[in-house]
Structure 1
Amino acid sequence: MSKPPAPCEPLKLDNQLCFALYSTSLQMTKVYKPLLQALGLTYPQYIAMLVLWEEDGITVGEISSRMLTDPGSLTPLLKRLEGEGLITRTRSAADERVVELRLTDKGRALRERAQSIPSCILATSGLSLAQLGKLKDELVTLRGHLQGAE
């Protein structure tokens, strides 16, 4: 005799998409931690550096938009990167309310040291590059739908 299907339990923790995302994010950050410590970066600092490695000379507003965060919350992070000699923060000559961010030579050099991080994450994930790409695309789609619901 087969066992009847379990009733839907919408408030069971293991049935929550939000918990799967949250707990996976925590685990991902744990995997990144030793890799980033070797570079002297925290995870949020790494995200900021990724943006700057793609597009040097952007404003605080632009990096905030790329990182999906509030510009005010970035100020301490950017000050720390500046203190480490990785970036410079300067007021725009055209509009002094705008702060422009530029990589220093040290910040550009750090990019070379970070090159191995994606392959380390791929190896640790246990997934293929194609599987990770598909998962990332699905998460970006979900994020877009959630942003549209705000």
Structure 2
Amino acid sequence: MKHPQLKLDNQICHRLYMASNGLTRTYRDSLTELNLTYPQYVVMMALWEKDGISITDLLEKTAIDGSAMTQILKKMEDKQLLSIVKDQHDKRKRVVKLSDEGESLQSKAAKIPERIRCQFPSLNDKEADQLISLLDRVIKDLN
């Protein structure tokens, strides 16, 4: 090989890509039970954490692209999981609120993180926390 720095096995980005794809596949069965895609699940987790937030805050919290968020929210509204209403204090802003059905999904989703964590038997809890910390640093550096 002329340029060993191009060797695929040496690339951080490719490992992150493979890990991300694998993790998304791992979520698929659990999310199918809830009739959610992974991005919809991320939106739901943000709303379960804090309901009635602006779309701007939701974009910031989830790091989902704005045009993708529009489509995600539309599909979730069609599923009657949430509604988008005008902010009471600023009619130009839109606020996302969970419906009763969206709120009730939280109990059904509560076991998903544990199921996913079980997919990493080679990582102990300390290593999992370290991985989260390292990924937070990578994300911060890239942003």
Secondary structure (helix, strand or coil) at the match of 1:118 reads: helix
Q: Which moved more, 1:83-92 or 1:15-24?
A: 83-92
Q: Percent identity of the aligned residues?
A: 34
8 Å CA contact 1:87, 1:101 repeated in 2: yes
Identify the residue that residue 85 of structure 2 maps to in structure 1: 90
Instruction: Measure, in 2, the Cα distance between the counterparts of 1:110 and 1:44.
Output: 15
Give the alignment of 1:17-96 within 5 angstroms.
17-96=12-91
Secondary structure (helix, strand or coil) at the match of 2:36 reads: coil
Instruction: Measure, in 2, the Cα distance between the counterparts of 1:76 and 1:17.
Output: 31
Instruction: Measure, in 1, the Cα distance between the counterparts of 2:124 and 2:105.
Output: 27
| Pair 96,71 (structure 1): closer, same or farther in 2 beyond 3 Å | farther
Instruction: Measure, in 2, the Cα distance between the counterparts of 1:119 and 1:93.
Output: 38
Identify the residue that residue 98 of structure 2 maps to in structure 1: 103
Residue 21 of structure 1 and its aligned partner are, at CA, apart by 0.2
Q: 2:140 aligns with which of 132, 139, 144?
A: 144
Residue 67 of structure 1 and its aligned partner are, at CA, apart by 1.2
Residue 95 of structure 1 and its aligned partner are, at CA, apart by 2.4
Secondary structure (helix, strand or coil) at the match of 1:56 reads: coil
TM-score, structure 1 normalization: 0.89
Instruction: Measure, in 2, the Cα distance between the counterparts of 1:64 and 1:81.
Output: 15
Secondary structure (helix, strand or coil) at the match of 1:38 reads: helix
Unaligned runs of 5+ in 1: 1-7
**Cα displacement string for residues 31-58 of structure 1 (whole angstroms, at most 9, x for unaligned residues):** 0001100110000000000100000000
Unaligned runs of 5+ in 2: none
